[in-house]
Chain A
Amino acid sequence: MTIEELEQIAKSVCQENEKYDFEVNVCMDLACSSQGAQQLKDALVKAAETSGKNVHIRRTGCMGPCSSGPLVRVDPEEALYHHVNADHAEAIVNSLGGAPVPDLQCDLNEHFDKQVRVVLENAGYIDPEKIDEYIARDGYKALLTALTEMTPNGVVHRITESGLRGRGGGGYPTGLKWGTVAKASGDVKYVVCNGDEGDPGAFMDRSVMEGDPHRVIEGMALAAYAVGASKGFIYVRAEYPTAVGRLTAGLRDARRRGLLGNNICNTPFNFDIEIRLGAGAFVCGEETALLASIEGKRGTPRPRPPYPAVSGLFGKPTLINNVETYANIAPIVRNGGKWFANMGSERSKGTKVFALTGKIANTGLVEVPMGIKLREIIEVIGGGVPGGHTFKAVQTGGPSGGCIPAEMLDVGVSYDALVRLGSIMGSGGMIVMDDTSCMVNVARFFIEFCMTESCGKCIPCRAGTAQMFTLLTRFCNGSGTMDDLELLESLCSTVKEASLCGLGQTAPNPVLSTLKYFRNEYIEHIVHKRCPAGVCNIQAPVTDQKEVLA
């Protein structure tokens, strides 16, 4: 495969597309599929055949506003239809060439206007299982350009220049990490993609893998070239069968096109990727646990240093990045580091994909420039809290994140700002809560998650999260005391500071942040035996339970 051949493919895809008068794109991401997108697509194909119109019905990845699914976009008009089902197929096909179907059209202009799509630029526009459609949208151009025109150092430099930071949660500078692996001594190196997305309410990485798998593959190939690796692994959780299927198809097609394998683009660069399935352990999203799992061992973290960059998979220098990080690579190499660095805030560059869920009108996937205010994400893009309820808090960063109250919504989203608020960026889950949520109960929920997902290796996380859960349960059932609260805070400190890996070190965040911003709710539960949100079932008086100390 050469750049000329790549351009030839792109051209033929365009010619193919031009044969059609209309394009009807059906979102077939998991959310839309679960609401009948497949039947809808079949009905559309049938309706198109009957009508005799020259229509291209295309399956695509995630278009964004999942709660409005199944979604259909008609091009070239760019009319977006929501809540479409098979019965609407005929009406949609009939409307082609005329006015859009009014009942189905959705007004999500504000939702989309504030977004900037880099990672999701193709999702919703290409068929994820057709490599040629990816190529037609500049796919693999960055890889071939890098292989033929750039040195590995040049690629690392471009990534460093972009200011990209790890999208898996930690926010470690990607260029620095690549540089470290590139400099590490050893003939054998690995690149690993962390697709073990496990945060409750997070589906950014799934949507990228399902909607645009080649973007991840290309990003990994560029990384392999930059650091000097010839073998890559994508670690995907087995609960994502569609993502696994599309990645498998993507790898197959990339090999067929000569974009993976030996002597790619007639250069000495060899690279191939294997998929490894996670068996459902949240902790395997932690990098050292993930590497242990790929090696076939029990998925438990180990102390760092040594960092994987020095001694990682099978003891070799290993570059490990998250799906979204790899998804940013190709556009950065293509458009230059400065282009990327122009987006975002001072120390957090580019865009970030968030999975917006909870008590919010427009549930789904959004991509926004770093630095955007939380308020804009929630009130404008998310459409605010529905049902006449008032906003109470937004939880960012999954179970390891914190709850941010309404007063703090004017803070711009960046790695550092969220840490200052007692939360983290995490991989990008964003759960909105309204006045019907009890913050003590929310904290209990997340601690229960961490407790069941703790690997059990280190004591603070294994036993500490279990004790925190016990104490939070006491608050929720009305048997907690102020002494218990003090004990809880003491436990938070030990679990946070003494745990071995990121899971334990961040597990107390939901408790600490709710204690910081919603302490009065804890006091209500403990002193007045009352749940202000009416969620907890407090039965007074409690017998055979610990009571208030003398």
Chain B
Amino acid sequence: MSKLKLATVWLDGCSGCHMSFLDMDERLIELAELADVVYSPLVDTKEFPDEVDIALVEGAVASEDDEKKIRKIRAHSKLLIAMGDCAITGNVPSMRNPIGPEAILNRAYIENADAQPQIPCVVVPKLLRIVRPIHEFVKVDVFLPGCPPSADTFHTALTALVTGAPLDIPALTRFGA
């Protein structure tokens, strides 16, 4: 049996979900026997592969770039897992929604700038007006809430998904866990 192709993606999040993923520690070795990590901020691959079996997505969709990425990921992944509260609810990145991106950019780059106050506009992608969870853009197959989901949650959920065992997510984790 060929190994599963696993990808992890980091959109607008804090990388905490990835840290928690790594907290699986020695269990990562077990996982490595079942799946290859083909794309991830943790590995040196630049392009999202054409065929991925499981994609774990951390972070909300906050910029035009995020939106492009999540559509591409969906198109090339068999199973898409929304990993953590940012991907599922918008979480902390979405806290700017009531006041809009201009207010946030102003605060960060103009009001609080010590020198050369200016809002970055080259290279960096344009922010969307509203930060949204990924399921508002693409179909999500599995939701793993938590901020971040615990290493145990990752281990139990991924094992179940890989082996086809029953998976009771609300018994493992919740929003804000």
Q: Is A in direct contact with B (CB under 8 Å) within the complex?
A: yes
Q: Tell me whether A550 and B128 are in contact (CB under 8 A).
A: no
Fill in one digit per residue for B132-153: 1 if any A CB lies within 8 Å of its CB, else 0: 1000111100000000000000
Q: Is A338 an interface residue (CB 8 A)?
A: no
- 8 Å CB contact of A546 from B71, B74, B75, B136: B136
A487–chain B nearest beta-carbon distance, Å: 11
Q: Which of A544, A546, A549, A550 meets B129, CB within 8 Å? A: A544
Asked if residues B137 and A546 are in contact (CB atoms below 8 Å), the reply is yes
Please, how many angstroms separate the alpha-carbon atoms of A546 and B132 in the complex? 9
By the criterion CB–CB under 8 Å, are B128 and A544 in contact?
Answer: yes
A550 to B140, CA, bound (A): 10
Chain A residues with Cβ under 8 A from B128's Cβ?
Answer: 544
A544-B128, A544-B129 given; A550·B136 CB < 8 A? no
| Distance in Å: Cβ of A486 to nearest Cβ of chain B | 13
Q: Which residue of B lies closest to A549 (CB)?
A: B139
A18 within 8 A of B: no
Whether A547 is near chain B, meaning CB under 8 Å from some CB there, is yes
Q: How many Å lie between the Cα of A549 and that of B70 in the bound state?
A: 11
> What does the 1/0 interface line of A527-550 toward B look like (CB < 8 Å)?
000000000000000001011011
Give Cα A550–Cα B129 distance, bound, in whole angstroms.
Answer: 22
From B130, B132, B138, contact of A550 by CB (8 A): B138
Q: Encode A237-256 as 1/0 by CB contact (under 8 A) with B.
A: 00000000000000000000
- Interface size class on chain A is under 10
Q: How far is the CA of A550 from the CA of B134 in the complex (A)?
A: 12
Closest to A483 in B: B139
Within 8 A of A (CB), among B72-91: 74-75
Interface mask (B114-128 → A, CB under 8 Å = 1, otherwise 0): 000000000000001
Residues of A within 8 A of B138 (CB): 549-550
* Residues 467-517 of A contacting B (Cβ, < 8 Å): none
B71 (CB) vs chain A CBs: closest residue:
A550
B 48-84 binary contact with A (CB < 8 Å = 1; else 0) = 0000000000000000000000010011000000000
Q: What's the Cα separation between A544 and B139 when bound, in Å? A: 18
* Residues of chain B contacted by A550 (CB below 8 angstroms): 71, 74-75, 138-139
Expressed in whole angstroms, the minimum distance between the Cβ of A547 and any Cβ of chain B is 7
Q: CB distance B137 to A547 under 8 Å?
A: yes
Identify the closest chain A residue to B130 (Cβ): A544
Residues in B whose Cβ lies below 8 Å from that of A549: 137-139
Looking at the assembled complex, report how far the CB atom of B121 sits from the nearest CB atom of chain A, in whole angstroms: 17
- Please name all residues of chain B whose beta carbon is closer than 8 Å to the beta carbon of A546 when the two chains form the complex: 132, 136-137
On chain B, the residues within 8 Å of A547 by CB distance are: 137
Closest B residue to A547 by CB, please name it. B137
Docked Cα-Cα span, A546 to B130, in Å, equals: 11
B86 to chain A, nearest CB (A): 18
Q: Which residues from chain A contact B137 at a C-beta distance below 8 Å?
A: 546-547, 549
When distances are taken between beta carbons in the complex, the residues of chain A under 8 Å from B130 are 544
Chain B proximity of A488: nearest CB distance (Å): 15
Nearest chain B CB to A443 CB, angstrom units: 23
**A335: min CB distance to chain B, Å:** 63
Interface string of A345-367 (1 = CB under 8 A from B): 00000000000000000000000
In the complex, what residue of chain B is closest to A546 when comparing beta carbons?
A: B136
A549 to B71, CA, bound (A): 9
A544 CA / B71 CA spacing, docked (Å): 14
| Residues of chain A contacted by B139 (CB below 8 angstroms) | 549-550
Residues of A within 8 A of B129 (CB): 544
Complexed CA–CA distance, A546 and B135 (Å): 10
Query: In angstroms, how far is the closest chain B Cβ from the Cβ of A473?
Result: 14
In the assembled complex, the Cα of A549 lies from the Cα of B139 at a distance in Å of 6
Cβ distance B72 to chain A, nearest Cβ, rounded Å: 10
Would you give the shortest CB distance from B171 to chain A, in whole angstroms?
A: 25
Please measure, in the bound complex, the distance between the C-alpha atom of A550 and the C-alpha atom of B80, giving whole angstroms: 12
Residues in chain A near residue B132, CB distance under 8 A: 546
* CB under 8 Å from chain B, chain A span 181-199: none
In the complex, what residues of A have CB within 8 A of residue B71's CB? 550
CB distance from A543 to the nearest CB of B (A): 9
Q: How far, in angstroms, from A547 to B61 measured CA to CA in the complex?
A: 13
Q: How far is the CB of A470 from chain B (nearest CB, A)?
A: 12
Docked pose: A544 CA to B132 CA in angstroms: 11
Complex formed: what's the CA distance from A550 to B136 in Å?
A: 11
Q: For the complex, give the distance between the alpha carbons of A550 and B130 in Å.
A: 20
Residues of A within 8 A of B74 (CB): 550
B136: min CB distance to chain A, Å: 6
Among A546, A547, A550, chain B packs the most CB atoms within 10 A around the CB of: A550
5 nearest A-B pairs in the assembled complex, by CB-CB distance: A550-B74, A550-B138, A549-B139, A546-B136, A550-B139
Residues of A within 8 A of B (CB): 544, 546-547, 549-550
Interface, chain B (partner A; CB < 8 A): 71, 74-75, 128-130, 132, 136-139
Taking A544-B128, A547-B137, A550-B139 as known contacts, 12 extra A-B pairs with beta carbons closer than 8 A to each other, sorted by chain A number, are A544-B129, A544-B130, A546-B132, A546-B136, A546-B137, A549-B137, A549-B138, A549-B139, A550-B71, A550-B74, A550-B75, A550-B138
6 contacts between A and B (CB under 8 A): A544-B128, A544-B130, A546-B132, A547-B137, A549-B139, A550-B74
